[in-house]
């Protein structure tokens, strides 16, 4: 499972999908570590640690899928491996961690269908995005947010004025860095159409 690439991690928790993007990871294990330490406690702080399916898609430099891994989140295994847990016989090894997470008892995700679902979500968002005050404020308030509101607003206004309402979101996306990609993706998958 070693592929230097960008990774898109999809976690299906209680029948809700959460998407996370990780750039320039040396392998899928690094992407999973970033999920465990950075995004899992931030996005799912109330989760009880019960298992849920994760699909990690490796993306090449052109954004094309070049590999996919279907896993099961197991909080005990993630803690034992990434937080350097030990057993009587020694440290929790990568091989043991892989055995704990590389099986998925549910149906295996169809990568073509999954890609269609992601594209449909993005298309729907681009055609019917929320009021800019909602998602721009979300991006600024987010713990990983590093841009002030005025900067993001100017970027959005420029894209909207130059490309119009139908292409503004795609061009705004292209202007964002990886952290802001992750924050906007989080908003779309967790906040948009929540009610």
The pLDDT tens digits of the residues spanning 80-102 come to 888 876 666 677 787 778 877 88
Residue 195 resides in a domain: no
Say if residue 23's pLDDT is above 50. yes
Residue predicted with more confidence, 111 or 173: 173
**Of the candidates 158, 193, 195, the residue with the CA atom closest to the CA atom of residue 176:** 158
Pair (11, 87) in one structural domain: yes
Q: What confidence score (pLDDT) does residue 108 get?
A: 46
Q: Is the pTM of this model over 0.75?
A: no
**Of the candidates 156, 189, 151, 193, the residue with the CA atom closest to the CA atom of residue 174:** 156
Pair (100, 134) in one structural domain: no
Q: What does the buried/exposed string (b/e) look like for 149-161 if buried means 16 or more CB atoms within 10 Å of the residue's CB?
A: eeebeebbeebbe
- Residue 17, both tokens: 């999908």
Give me the mean pLDDT over the 157-165 stretch.
95
Domain that holds residue 162: 120-190
- Per the structure, how many domains does the chain have? 2
**Of the candidates 22, 53, 26, the residue with the CA atom closest to the CA atom of residue 38:** 22
In sequence order, the β-bridge partners of residue 13 are: 16
Strand order in the sheet with 5-13: 16-25, 5-13, 52-59, 65-73
């Amino acid at each position: 499972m070693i592929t230097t690439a960008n990774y898109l991690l999809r976690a299906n928790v209680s029948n809700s999908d959460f998407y996370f993007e990780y750039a320039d990871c040396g392998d899928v294990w690094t992407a999973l570590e970033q999920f465990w330490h950075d995004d899992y406690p931030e996005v799912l702080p109330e989760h009880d640690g019960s298992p849920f399916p994760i699909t990690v898609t490796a993306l090449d430099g052109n954004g094309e899928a070049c590999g996919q891994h279907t896993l099961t989140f197991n909080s005990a295994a993630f803690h034992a491996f990434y937080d350097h847990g030990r057993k009587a016989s020694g440290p929790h090894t990568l091989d043991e961690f892989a055995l704990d997470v590389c099986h998925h008892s549910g149906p295996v995700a169809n990568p073509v269908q999954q890609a269609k679902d992601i594209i449909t979500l993005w298309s729907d968002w681009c055609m019917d995005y929320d009021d800019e005050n909602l998602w721009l404020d979300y991006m600024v308030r987010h713990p990983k947010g590093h841009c002030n509101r005025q900067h993001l607003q100017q970027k959005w206004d420029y894209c909207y004025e130059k490309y119009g309402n139908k292409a503004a979101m795609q061009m705004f996306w292209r202007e964002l860095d990886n952290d802001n990609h992750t924050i906007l993706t989080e908003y779309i998958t967790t906040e948009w159409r929540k009610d």
